[in-house]
Amino acid sequence: MAKPEPIAYIWHKDYVNESDRYIPTTNRNVMVHLLIEAYGLLDNMMTVTPKKASIQDLAAFHSMDYLNFLSNPNSNRDEDSINDENDDYGLEYDCPIQDGIIEYCQRVAGGTIEAARMLNNGFCKTAIHWLGGWHHAKRSNAAGFCYVNDCVLGIIELRKKFERVLYIDLDLHHGDGVQDAFCGTNKVLTFSIHKFEPGFFPGTGSDKEIGYGKGKYYTVNVPLLDGARDDTFCDIFDKIAPTVLKKFKPGAILCQLGADGLNEDPMHSFNLTHKSQIHCIRKIQNWGIPLLILGGGGYNPANTARTWTSVTASLIGKEISEDIPEHEYFLEYGPHYELPVSQSLRKDLNTSKYIAEVVSTVENNLEQIN
């Protein structure tokens, strides 16, 4: 029997504990890690402690003006100037300036860059960094709880080894920051399945957005409506993903697996369970291409931990009990204390006609890739 390919699991104890300060979910990241640990899954992976990314590492995508402001937000400025610059850089509302924010950004980016380097150097075929996946940040702007775009930085690192990198985004929200970064190149194809409707953040992700110049048709957007269920999500992935793979032929893949489309997430949008993420990631893993997996959104901490633990177990080929093991956060999984995430009876607004129209548009665009 062939020996399983090694999987790298990126984490740092202090980083896990501190990271929950900067996202609007109490103890989510700690819960994810401790549930993975409680199931004994760490024994089946290489655990890797990443270094903090340097400012120069962050500058591979982000502007130095923005990084300098993150590093010294109150330096040599009067209050009015600080407020104006906060607004210019998107550092208000969902991305407020907080103590230690630049160190957090360096930890986020350092974890994803280290995961990419593990793949570049052939130390593993799959690398997981659940604390990464912050796909909304732009070159000089924070947005949507994302201060730096570690997805973009991970792709830049992968491009040092692999000529073509496929970015797959399965978060509820459109991966606009990543799309904007690569919409003009044919070396990176961005493929995002997400909710799209007027007024829903970030307001981008129409299937009419297809890229520019050399990157025309290398932007693939699948806009879905409220109530999307596992069967809808998996069906549309199964229809489009193989064509993306065939036409683009990537050397490596970076996949953002946001969990905010799950049923019972505060976003109240999609109606997914852990099954859709497992289905998609198994398909991707079976392609046999170096794969970097990141987290992202997910604002129901217990369901996010359930789902990413289930995905981790699936990736290493280990069956685990549906009964949540006793550990520090055991009581957060009540009242049933079980691993599966359930669907609700909410109506799926994605009709078969709507799905057929979206798939047809996307496939016609993909046919234009030489």
**pLDDT for the residue numbered 20:** 87
Report the side by side order of strands in the sheet with 188-195. Answer: 46-48, 7-10, 126-129, 291-294, 252-256, 165-169, 188-195, 219-224
Name the token pair of 265: 């997430």
Q: What residues pair up with 47 in beta bridges, in sequence order?
A: 9
Tell me the per-residue pLDDT of 9-63, one tens digit each, with 9 for 90 and over: 999 888 888 888 888 888 999 999 999 999 999 999 999 999 999 999 999 999 9
Would you please indicate which residues are annotated as catalytic (active-site) residues? 136
User: In this structure, what DSSP letter does residue 81 have?
Assistant: H
Tell me the per-residue pLDDT of 71-85, one tens digit each, with 9 for 90 and over: 988 754 545 444 556
Nearest C-alpha neighbor of 286 from the set 164, 126, 166: 126
Task: Give me the domains of the chain, ranges plus CATH numbers.
Answer: 7-366 (3.40.800.20)
- CB-based contact 252:158 (threshold 8 Å): yes
**pLDDT for the residue numbered 84:** 55
Below-50 pLDDT ranges, the chain: 1-2, 76, 78, 80-82
